[in-house]
Amino acid sequence: MAEQKLISFARGAPSLDIIATDELAQCAERALRADPAGAFGYGTAVGYPPLREWIAERQSVQVEQVVTTNGSMQADAFLFELMVDPGDVVVVEAPTYDRTLLSLQKLGAQVLAIPLESDGIDVEALAAALEEGLRPKLAHVIPNFQNPAGYTLSLDKRRRLLELAEQYDFVIFEDDPYVELRFEGERLPTMLSMDRADKVVYASSFSKTVCPGIRVGYLVGPEPVIAAVVKIATETYISPSMVSQAIVTEFCRSGAIEQSVETVKNALRERRDALAAALKRELPEAKFVEPDGGYFMWVELPEGSDVDVLFENARDRGLVFVKGTDFLIEGGQNTLRIAYSGVTPAEIDEGVSRLAEAYRGVADAAA
Ligand SMILES: Cc1ncc(COP(=O)(O)O)c(C=O)c1O
């Protein structure tokens, strides 16, 4: 077979054409010239103070409730280091972000995966487990355009989760890097903004609104939690990258971020539409819920489909994706995650053709 250009439905990353490269270069020039002392010095573990202030204002919290980090992955790692001891019960969604699963397993947490529905985590299944005596320290939830499923937690479920967190005294870790990428429907309030009992620690990121290579993320939460995270951060790396954070600050303050978010959302809507149409056309066996934002679509193939074999078959045809099993502790052999963030509509069409061909190959071999 002739060599084909690889198409990746695997990477949860934007394609370069939707990154505001010129504006970023200009913001870098302005930021580094305007504040060389702040940008080129070590700074401290709280992060670049003007960025901390910008985030605090946006989130309507005190500056002391914010810490900025090298990507939100680093924020997650600090929070887990602070809160999770071996044997602690941590609730996650099933499926959930594979790196979260790996981090928690590495720390020796007892991970309890609660099924994810198309309107978010099954809160009544969680309530039942709590009634039966489950005592988690933490519940990790990705509320908007979830990774990997693309689903969004409904307002009622947000309220119910907060109620449960208060009643059973656990922390909700609201991991929200995709919140700004809603291209359809109405924005829902964060659990952070609804929290009256200091039960929420919130993480977000500039990876999806500015660019991933800048590596800037943050945590917002109760002051004592943030102070404890700052201590861990100091001991870990003295401070995050001030150069990156100075550039992000200029990108935010100049308004370039709003334009960037518009560009990204328009491209994502178009890519989501192309993906849904191609799947309906070429692989009608595939079941999926069209996401209202974000990067990902979760695809379920008929019961009994073997995505391990499909993966190999697709790779031979120059297409990669992530198997659903990577996001689950058990089950999901008939599922996969398609990231449409890094591929053009034409690549999506070609990629889905390859996927459908690979699927027919598996089905024919099994017949
Ligand atoms: C749910 C979730 N949390 C955290 C991250 C990490 O993002 P960052 O680039 O800010 O480290 C990602 C990235 O894909 C993600 O999907």
**23: its two tokens:** 């504006």
Our answer on whether the CB atom of 142 is closer than 6 Å to any ligand 1 atom is yes
pLDDT of residue 306: 96
Return the CATH architecture of domain 7-19+258-366.
Alpha-Beta Complex (3.90)
pLDDT of residue 200: 98
Whether the pLDDT of residue 366 is over 80: the answer is no
CA distances from 208 to 164, 226, 263, 293, 342 (A): 30, 23, 11, 12, 12
Query: DSSP string spanning 147-215?
Result: TTT-----HHHHHHHHHHHHHHT-EEEEE-TTTT-B-SS-----HHHH-SSS-EEEEEESTTTT-GGG-
**What is the Å distance from ligand 1's center to 340 Cα?**
16
Strand order in the sheet with 322-323: 296-300, 335-339, 322-323
For ligand 1, mutation pick of 68, 74, 76, 97 (most atoms within 8 Å of CB):
97
Q: Where residue 2 falls among pLDDT bands split at 50, 70, 90?
A: low
Q: Where residue 361 falls among pLDDT bands split at 50, 70, 90?
A: confident
Least confident of 2-16, 63-77, 217-231: 2-16
- Residues 242 and 48: their CA atoms lie apart, in Å, by 6
For ligand 1, mutation pick of 116, 144, 147, 173 (most atoms within 8 Å of CB):
147
- pLDDT > 70: percent of the chain: 98
Q: Which atom of ligand 1 is nearest to the CA of 212?
A: 9
Our answer on whether the CB atom of 13 is closer than 6 Å to any ligand 1 atom is no
Mean pLDDT of the chain: 97
Please give the distance of CA 70 from its chain centroid, rounded to a whole number: 15
Q: Which atom of ligand 1 is nearest to the CA of 73?
A: 11
Q: Where residue 285 falls among pLDDT bands split at 50, 70, 90?
A: very high
For ligand 1, mutation pick of 207, 211, 337 (most atoms within 8 Å of CB):
207
Our answer on whether the CB atom of 350 is closer than 6 Å to any ligand 1 atom is no
Mean pLDDT of 136-158: 98
CATH of span 21-256: 3.40.640.10
**What is the Å distance from ligand 1's center to 282 Cα?**
31
| Per-residue pLDDT tens over the stretch 290-338 | 999 999 999 999 999 999 999 999 999 999 999 999 999 999 999 999 9
Mean pLDDT of 93-116: 97
Our answer on whether the CB atom of 97 is closer than 6 Å to any ligand 1 atom is yes
- pLDDT > 90: percent of the chain: 97
Q: Which atom of ligand 1 is nearest to the CA of 75?
A: 11
Mean pLDDT of 88-100: 97
Mean pLDDT of 241-255: 98
Q: Is 21-256 in the same CATH topology as 7-19+258-366?
A: no
| Per-residue pLDDT tens over the stretch 188-200 | 999 999 999 999 9
| Residue 39: Cβ within 10 Å count | 22
Our answer on whether the CB atom of 313 is closer than 6 Å to any ligand 1 atom is no
- Residues 144 and 162: their CA atoms lie apart, in Å, by 16
**What is the Å distance from ligand 1's center to 16 Cα?**
18
Our answer on whether the CB atom of 146 is closer than 6 Å to any ligand 1 atom is no
Our answer on whether the CB atom of 205 is closer than 6 Å to any ligand 1 atom is yes
Our answer on whether the CB atom of 72 is closer than 6 Å to any ligand 1 atom is yes
pLDDT of residue 259: 97
pLDDT of residue 80: 98
Q: Kindly report the pTM of this predicted structure.
A: 0.97
Our answer on whether the CB atom of 293 is closer than 6 Å to any ligand 1 atom is no
Mean pLDDT of 117-131: 98
Whether the pLDDT of residue 4 is over 90: the answer is no
Locate the domains of the chain by residue range.
7-19+258-366, 21-256
